[in-house]
Structure 1
Amino acid sequence: MSPLIGAAWLDVRERADQLVLNYVSRAADAAHGVLRSEQRLDFARRLRARIEAEVGGSENPRTVAKVLDRFGDPAALVAREARRLTESAPEAAACGSRAGLGPEGTRRFPAIRDDTAPAHPPRRAGQHRVSRPTSLGLPFAGLRRVAMSTANPMATGGRDARTVVKEHPRETAALVILVVAALLVPFGLPPLAIFPVPLVVWAAGTAVVLLSESWEVRDRFLGAGAPLLGYVVGGVLVGGLRVGAEPGFDTFMTAFWAVSGTMFMIGTGLGVVWLAYRLLDLD
């Protein structure tokens, strides 16, 4: 393994561990004033063990984020744990001396949000999810949840824009770089060597997107390639339509250069929206 690949693998592993640590820390913070100190420590220990069991040894941050999303809001888990301890206290006190456990000594962890949901068969490699309407009356439920995410974090299972930025700083930076590339188009900056400045900035953002493990491969190419696709295909189509009754290569190129920058900006906007939507992982 080359040093570069090894460093990248360690970085991915550290990010996955950090996701788990952040989630458990949020749960422990929520348990302050709700659970006693020994109950809080026991709860945090069992929560981390349950998360690691659900993750199944995966070191992919995307997989870990999906598991944590299934657990839901840490505060809700703490409230459920408090109710369980209250309800089980009489029974635990009666049998505690026989079992050698205190009222809070149960080894059972409350069921996570979708434990009662029917299990789905594992996806085969290369098989992508297909988004379907949750009901005939809400064909755009996923987009509605995205729109609500900044106002109501519970609409996305506890994940909102702030959470995504905190958990995915590199991916967020890549999206910002792509937006900057689009915003530089109207300024007409002098090229770097022979390359336009927006193209150089786009290439930097694209490199970060393609190296990210948080998006599927298809999403990386769609999101990062949308600006270039808009520039080339959009410029050709719209420029061709603008040629009108004056055909000719020079006329076409004039029309192409006049619209290609705008089409690049439109493609960038569509690609960034798609990548941000997939980062929220609302399917």
Structure 2
Amino acid sequence: MKKIIASSALVVLLSGTTGMAQSNEAFASQDATKEIQNEKVTKADLAEQNVMSVAWYQTSAEAKALYLQGYNTAKDKLDEKLKHHKGKKKPAIVLDLDETVLDNSPYQAYAILKHKTYPEGWHEWIDTGSAKPVYGAKSFLKYADKKGVEIFYVTDRSEKEDFKGTLKNMKDLKMPQANKEHLLLKGENEKGKEQRREKVRENHDLIMLFGDNILDFDEPKESTLKSRTKFIEKHKEDFGDKYIIFPNPMYGSWEATLYGGNFAQSPDKLDQLRKQPLTYFDPATKTTKTSNEK
């Protein structure tokens, strides 16, 4: 009888101990969760958030295929436009450089690994003149050149700081029409690219534009998600015809729009703004919501 009582007591004691252990684990888990929630997002955390986009851009067959798809489509469209071209002005095309003609993802990878933010190291990267062409770009540009099309490279690289490195890079790659007249970099007091596009239009018939950013084609009325979507709707017939756009999940005006154009905010705030417009599925209500819904 005593053995039974003793055994029962041992079971109760062990059960109590197990319960206490589980309870302590629960409290510890809650404390860890609170600690994670209260932990400040750092510059390094923001850099880590870009790993997948740069990895996709550099390694995926899909990224390469999208560039080839864009430039293959462009050849057909260029032939079509030249066939029906009329007027005295010479036909011309305008291309952005970064992530449209040149691959700068090694700089983006540097920023991730060293926890840097633009423009840290950017001008040094350009000075090396070591960017490679994106898939399909060089072949298309040679094709356009042979067709007698004038090619203008309109980029927001700084004319003052980046022209020498950019010209070297383009000449080393033997890109057609890589010279001072056709490399149109951004002036010190210039905003956007429209002024340079208008300069091209003065003496040329601008038949096609290429870029990885909608600002490479025209500018929405406002830098808001709603205005940018309206811009796409307005030009939905142009994409794949007059406008050829390429993939760039690494950076761009789409990101600036999330921040209200202000990158000079704390990492915590930038992290919050990145997640705010996300639409997600809620299993509890079986509905989709946006992250900023209360």
Report the TM-score when normalising by structure 2.
0.26
Would you tell me which structure has more helix in proportion to its own residues?
Answer: 1
Q: Which has the higher contact order (CA 8 A, sep 6+)?
A: 2
* Pair member with larger Rg: 2
Q: TM-score, normalised by structure 1?
A: 0.26
